[in-house]
Each structure stands twice: as structure tokens, then as C-alpha cells.
Amino acid sequence: MDYETLSNCFTAVFEHYKTTETKVFVVHDLRNDFDDFIDFLKQNTDNREWHISYNGLAFDAQVTHYIIENYELWENLSAGEIAGIIYKYATKCIARSDAKEFHDYPQWKMCIGQIDLFKMHHWDNPAKRSSLKWIQYTMDWDNMLDMPIHHSASIETMDQIETILTYNINDVKSTKEIFSRSHELIKLRKDLTNTYGINLYSASEPRISKELFAYYMSEKLNIQKRDLKQMRTHRSIVKVKDIVLPYIKFVSTEFQTLLDRFNALEVNPEYLKGVFKYSVLYKGVKTDFGIGGVHGANKAGVYLSDDEYVIMSSDVTSFYPNLVIRNKWSPGHFPAAEFCDQYEWFFEERKKIPKSNPMNYVYKIILNSTFGLSNDKNSFFYDPELTMRITINGQLSLMLLYEMIMERIPDALPIMHNTDGLETRIPRKYVDQYMLICKEWEDLTNLQLEHDEYQKLVVGDVNNYIGLNNFKEVDLTAWREIKRKNPHYKFKIERDKFYFAPCKLKGRFDFFNLQLHKNKSKLVIKKALYNYFIHDIMPQDYLTQNNNILDYCIGGKSKGDWKQVARSIKDGRYHEEDLQKINRYYVSNTGIKIIKINKSDGRQIQLEAGQWMQTIFNKMKIEPKWENYNVNKAYYLDAIEQEIDNIMNVSSNQLTLF
């Protein structure tokens, strides 16, 4: 469902979640469906029907329940007057959201059930924040239509109303598509709601974690949930030397100096941004440290295992949860024994449950979200000292393993280390020694490591890489299923035996595991790099093969005081046309230039600097011939070859296959 509220016009569109049955209501002096709309809302209430929306809890559902509560007072008003009242209330809802204030109708007061996909996917989180228009782009919606009429405009004609309804219906259908893609997430929330008696239909993963942990902890501590949820531990100062684990000791000057720097640190948790930054140059690799984590990588390049050397990968199993469990840490306001018993129970229960069981995923959410919530002032987990215990000891513990490997294995080459694991190229003859070092580290830290080997690591930097593991043999049935679920893996058949090699795609190389809020622009570049490094296909050949226009598309968005315009030259003069806030386009041989213009100071930025022209593709049109799209493949080839050059330090005319 979706509403549009304008100064003298209100529209409401609903489409059944299983069928194409559609209800359209208009409240305007030219068409007044208000009585029918009220009857429909009564039907929803009586039949216990639900509304499925995008950001509905903060807007559409507020408007719904305001209307239900007040419509009898409007009996003698005209349609235009009713629409005006609804418009004023809708404006108030938006202002409250912008100010992060509470709304009039919390979920428990609503007589119509709600599933808010925006909240459920946690797209209200600043790091993931996404409008419906952006999600339309990322899921390749056929019509990225923006509202063509400003909400303050006075609607005078039926043509204007039809324009609004076209936009309204498009939003409803795209919301329905998100819903269909969220089937498993909604089923999980339904099961949890029924099991625990807590309405979790619109709950994000962190909220699920908070609610279920509160459910169990209130029972364990015999504290009412409402009281539990008010608990916090606030700290004015944290002395790092008091929280560093006693086993953290280094032999190298570089890491001993790092430890000294940490031990000298006293921080106010209210002001953590930029409070600690330090870099260590060790074995020729720079590693960066902060309060929150560690990352380091050797120079960009392609690293290979061969007959003499092997790339070892070691990750700490459930690193942050196990640091808490093994060291008996807890937020300061909880008894450590009870908190850790409950936390460990989730960990152990998860191990008993197959990954195919949704509860395995629920326990994973609880275990992983708790760390982040310990630094969230709105959470009853809040204790910034616990956060720092985890992050500082986590990076120091990992560096302890890093140093042990590098000091004891001759010719060891560090490749990457980040948060919970590291990759190292070592002589094959020292693999047993490597495993003994890892076992020693496990005994020291009371943590566990998971090991793997890479055939190849293509490293841009620590957050952007392609990793190809060794081949593993499986039967035909398993091989087919793995291929169906993970087509980016590498597969082969030899002498009637079936093999697959897992392939990790991270950062700017990832085209397969993208969540809907992520930017999927220029997928053709990521796919070409993958095919070059994994399947030995030259970029030019891959571009010739790939005629999927959506892989060439780019998402351009503007916020705040910025707008986008299409600039072209006609009859020797510049022409400009205002565009939407979010646009889908591709680089073409001819077309327009998309310019971002600041409405306050007039600054201008080209979305694609230089000679490159663009074609707007907001409304998808499938051409019968590829040539009709007029794609400028030179642009994409140039970007692919530049990325390869950054990794391998070769120019385009030196490109060869592995």
C-alpha cells in the first residue's frame, strides 16, 4: 500500500499481496472516494487484514490511524477540505520523523497490522539508509518514476490526478516486489512473533536481538522486561591498560610499541571519533589500528599458491562472541556469570541446529548484534567499556597470531589481515609448523581458528579482493546444487568426478552477494574483472559477450540542496532539463551530460567527467538489437583495464591471460 498526500488531494492505492486485486481511492473535489475508503479500512480492521508498506510505520500507518480516529468529525466537509486536513497531518508526521520524535500511534495502538519493509530491512539505519527509489534501482525495477508533482501543489484536473495515481501504483507494485523477495525474512518474523508473543513483523535484526535477549535475560535475572530495557552503564573514562588481556605480549619492537600506546590510552567514550590512530610497519606491511579495529594488506597484486608455496587463510570462529564468552565479560549492569551463561547458551544451541533451520540464523543474529548494541545508547546492552574490551583485545590477539607466524616461519609473506582473520603465503614444507603455531595460539587465547587454503588471491586492498579456494570433490547432486546457488564458484569435471572451488568476492569486486541497499552500478566492470582473474577471459572478449544493458547501468543520486539536470546542445545552444533525485543511466556514444547543481551556491559536478555522454534509462526499454542502446563500451573497457593495471601494474597493451 501507499498514500500520496497533497495540499488538496489524497490518494490511496492497495494491491493484494497474493493477487492483482487493486483498490484505488481518491479524495478530491473532482473525485471523492472517501466513504469507500473508510469502509475499506473498517473491512481491514474487522477481517484483521494487514497493510504492507515502505516506511509505513512512520508515515502511511500514522495517516491511516489518524483518519480512523477523526473521520467522523469531517462528515460535513468537502473532499478538498478533508484532503487538506490529511495533508497537514502528513506534513506533521514528516517533521516528526526528521526531528526523530515519537509519533502519535505506536504499533501497539494500531488496529490494522503493519509490515514495514523499510524498518524490517533496517534501511532506516544511517549506514544503510535507502529510499524506495534507490531500492527500485538496485532491484532493476522497470520504471524508476519519481513524483512529478510537488506535494504543495494545488491539483486542478483529472489528468493531474491520473499522473499521481500512476506514480502511486508504481510505488505499490515495487513495494510488492520487495515483499516477494523478503518471503523468508517475513516467515521467520512470523514464527518468532508466534513463539515469543512479541510483534517482530517489522523488526530489524538488531531489534530481534534486543527483544529475544531481553526475553531470556528477564527470566534469568527475574527482572521485568520494561525495567531491564532501562538498564545502561555509562562511563566517563576508560583506561585501556585495565582492560587488555594478560596474555597479550609481543616480541617485536613494532608490536610492543603498539601495546604501549594502547596501555597509555585513557578515553572518554562520549568522544571516540579519531581518538586513537596508529600504524605499524612490520615485515614490510603497514597495518592501521584504531579503537574499533585493525586492517592491513600487502601491496596490490595477484598472489598464487604453487608447488613450493601455499596461501593459508585462518579466521577466528565467532571472534567477538567468543571473546565475550571465554573471558566472562558482560555489560557492567549485568552479573557476568548470568549474562555469559545466556550468551554461551545461544552459541552452543546454534551449533546443534542445522543451517537450514531458521533458528540457526536467529541465534547468529543475537550473537553478532550484541557487540554493536553494546555501543548503542538506546540499547540495554550499552556499556562502551565492553565494546572496547572486544575491539582492542580482538585486534591485539589477532596481531599476536600474526607475529607468531611471521617470527617463526621462514619466508612467510603477509598478504592481508582484517578484524577476525589473516592470509599468509608460506612455504609448503612449513604447513605443519603453521598449524602448530595456530594450536598454540588457540590454547593461549581459548579461541578457535578455522583454516582454508587459497589457489589465488587477487588483492586490491584489504577490503577489496577476489579469493579462489582449492577445489573440493562432491557427488553430482551436490555439485549441481552448489552450482545453482553459487554460480560464481569455479567448477570442473575430470574423469567423471565433480569439483568446485569456492570464490570470495569482496568490496568493489563483488557482483553476486549485493544486498538491495548496496550500489550495483557498473556491474559489467566487476563481472569482467572476475572473468579475467578467475576464468581467463580477456576484458574485450567479455564485453563482446555481455549484452545485458542493466549490467552497464549506473545509479546517480542527489541529496539536500543538490539537483540533477540533463544538459544537451541543440542548435548550437545549451539546453537543460531537470531530472529526478535518483536516475538510472549508462554511458553512451551520444546523448546528454548529467550535471549535479547545488541550488544554493550554483556549484556544478559532472556525474561522468570528461568526454563521456550518458543516456537516461529510468524507464526500461528492451531494444530488439544491442546496437540500438548505443553503449560506449570504450568507457567500460577503460575502467576495467585501469583496475587491472592498479592490481598488476601493467598497461592495457601488456594484458595477457594467466
Going from the N-terminus, what domains does the chain have, and what CATH number goes with each?
2-192 (no CATH), 238-318+388-469 (3.30.70), 471-513 (no CATH), 549-654 (no CATH)
**pLDDT at site 653:** 56
**pLDDT at site 371:** 87
Residue 250 pLDDT more than 90? yes
Higher-pLDDT residue of 269, 137: 137
Take residue 275 and report the three cell numbers written for it.
Answer: 581518538
**pLDDT at site 275:** 83
Which of 143-157, 364-378, 454-468, 604-618 bottoms out in mean pLDDT, i.e. has the lowest?
A: 364-378
- Residue 68 to residue 64: CA distance in whole angstroms: 6
Give the confidence band of 227 by pLDDT, cuts at 50, 70, 90: very high
Which of 422-431, 515-524, 579-588, 644-653 bottoms out in mean pLDDT, i.e. has the lowest?
A: 644-653
Give the confidence band of 656 by pLDDT, cuts at 50, 70, 90: low
Q: Exposure string (b/e) for 153-163, b if CB count within 10 Å is 16 or more? A: eebeeeebbeb
Nearest-5° Cα angle at 261, 255 to 263: 105
Length of the chain equals 658
- Residue 332 to residue 36: CA distance in whole angstroms: 56
Section 488-504 average pLDDT: 96
Q: Which of 438, 376, 429 is nearest to 402 (CA)?
A: 438
Q: Which of 616, 622, 617 is nearest to 568 (CA)?
A: 616
Q: Which of 153, 67, 169, 51 is nearest to 112 (CA)?
A: 51
Section 225-238 average pLDDT: 94
- Residue 144 to residue 619: CA distance in whole angstroms: 6
Take residue 58 and report the three cell numbers written for it.
Answer: 512512520
Give 457-489 pLDDT, tens digit per residue. Answer: 999 999 999 999 999 999 999 999 999 999 999
**pLDDT at site 652:** 54
- Residue 511 to residue 501: CA distance in whole angstroms: 18
**pLDDT at site 270:** 85
- State how beta strands 573-578 and 562-570 pair: antiparallel
Give the confidence band of 524 by pLDDT, cuts at 50, 70, 90: very high
Section 382-396 average pLDDT: 96
Give 197-220 pLDDT, tens digit per residue. Answer: 999 999 999 999 999 999 999 999
> What's phi and psi for 576, nearest 5 deg?
-125, 140
